A and B are shown apart, each in its own frame.
Chain A
Amino acid sequence: MSAFDITEGGTPVDGAAWIAGGTTMVDLMKLGATAPSRLFDLGAQRDALSGISETSDTITLGALTTMADAAKHPAIRGLTAVHTALVQAASPQIREMATLGGNLLQRTRCSYFRDTRQPCNKRVPGSGCPAIGGEDGHHAVLGGSAQCIATYPGDFAVVCVALGAEITIRASDGSERKIPVQDLHRRPGATPHTETALQTGDLITAIHLPKGGAQSYIKIRDRASYAFATASAAVVLHMDGAMVTSARIALGGLATVPWRAATAEHVLKGSMIDQKTAFAAGEAALQDAHPTLTNAHRVELGIRAVAKAILSARGNSV
């Protein structure tokens, strides 16, 4: 870990960064995958920036609310997909430390990114991407570029995208703006090191989750707990009787960003849900998938995750 100092007041300028729960930040600093010159400890603002409030159609969470606190709040228990995404993430200890704002901004688990002895365009722009043509079993099948195919690993952001959630951002000049979570993450394109729409000094202060809809989050992984998704799907359905009036679907573990599957939504809209439509929607969600060397099975896994999520969302609606 290279040298830095920690401060409580002020806003990061170039080369500096916020630290909230530190579960991504400290991990990556120890690996040497990131090396901020200065850390601005958000812990001091925890009281001001955490907590949960509710209106008739929205739940607002302070960005410093921990995953554990959010998961146990009755309002969140009502949003099945959100609750599932939170309690199936990481471990109880990490959820006590990790904040929701930090969670949205967690970085990829790409093994080359994490191993500083290997080249990586995201970590060292221009150094190359050994994952392409390398060991890519867990890399993205959607949204990749010739420079980077790193998977966005998180769960919560995927549900946020399916819900149509928004975040409030406070810029270093104190001004605030709201953007959809869907617009927060950037595909790698030619600049894989630019991961989000945030500017230096921007602080996520709150997350706004719309209520309502029959929803579900399905996380598929290679062990029962304490593992990132190999494929996941979040589904929010609005139904008129047995018919879907509108659907929102997002994929996790499969794409370079929390992935909105709009084509799949169109397949569902106006239809009755059964296994056939669920799989048809799954196939539509993955129709643009570009598997690389060894990750093709995750296309099928993604289809199945979407199908399962649709069927269980319908189950949750009754």
Chain B
Amino acid sequence: MTLCINGADYPMPNDPRTTLLDHMREKLNLTGTKKGCDHGQCGACTVLVDGKRVLSCLQLAQTVRGDVTTIEGLSKNDTLHPMQAAFLEHDAYQCGFCTPGQIMSAVACVSEGHAGSDAEIADWMSGNLCRCAAYPQIRAAIASVAQAEAEG
């Protein structure tokens, strides 16, 4: 059994208790995904599994069914993913600790079609706490990507 993360195959952990988050951080040196609570209450550990956003702290690694994408897998070569570029441009972060989770969630928010208005973004991004409260800038970053996509 292997885990596909960012297009590469990694071994499954032997210990069934291992969460996807701990496995990535402790064993695979994928520390971009953050742990803010370890109990599903903050969104810092958000990753995509087959394009859907999930909390890697509540996901046992052995029960992952699908391909995992993390913040490290978002940019191709050296080019930032449009969402990363938008976060940078809109200063949509301060301490940066929630940022990987915000960006992964934001990518899904747009692909789900939940970025149609400021209010809709606010609602569908409410699973990612930002204590620095870069919230308005995060909304602006997401809106800009959604708009660019809509315009093709």
Contacts and interface: CB of A to CB of B under 8 A. Distances in A.
Contact flag (A, B; Cβ within 8 A):
yes
B19 interface: yes
Contacts of B39: 27, 30-31
Contact of B54 (A27, A90, A93): A93
A92 B126 CA distance: 8
B43 A91 contact: yes
Nearest to B112: A92
Contacts of B19: 26
Contacts of B63: 6, 19, 22, 41, 43
A97 interface: yes
Given A5-B16, A226-B126, A93 B46 contact: yes
Interface in B2-26: 16-17, 19
B109 interface: yes
B123 interface: yes
14 contacts: A3-B17, A6-B16, A6-B60, A6-B62, A6-B63, A29-B17, A41-B63, A46-B65, A90-B40, A91-B127, A92-B105, A93-B46, A225-B127, A226-B127
Interface in B31-73: 38-41, 43, 46, 52-55, 57-60, 62-63, 65
A192 B132 CA distance: 40
A18 B96 CA distance: 37
A41 B59 CA distance: 12
Given A41-B63, A43-B65, A23 B126 contact: no
A97 B49 CA distance: 10
B97 interface: no
Interface in A91-146: 91-94, 96-97
Interface of B: 16-17, 19, 38-41, 43, 46, 52-55, 57-60, 62-63, 65, 105, 108-109, 112, 114, 123-129
B16 A93 contact: no
Contacts of A3: 17
Contacts of A30: 38-39
A97 B53 CA distance: 8
A225 B114 CA distance: 16
Contacts of A6: 16, 60, 62-63
Nearest to A69: B52
Contact of A93 (B17, B62, B65, B105): B105
Given A6-B60, A26-B19, A224-B126, A94 B105 contact: no
A19 B114 CA distance: 29
Contacts of A19: 60, 63
A197 to B, nearest CB: 27
A94 B41 CA distance: 9
A92 B40 contact: no
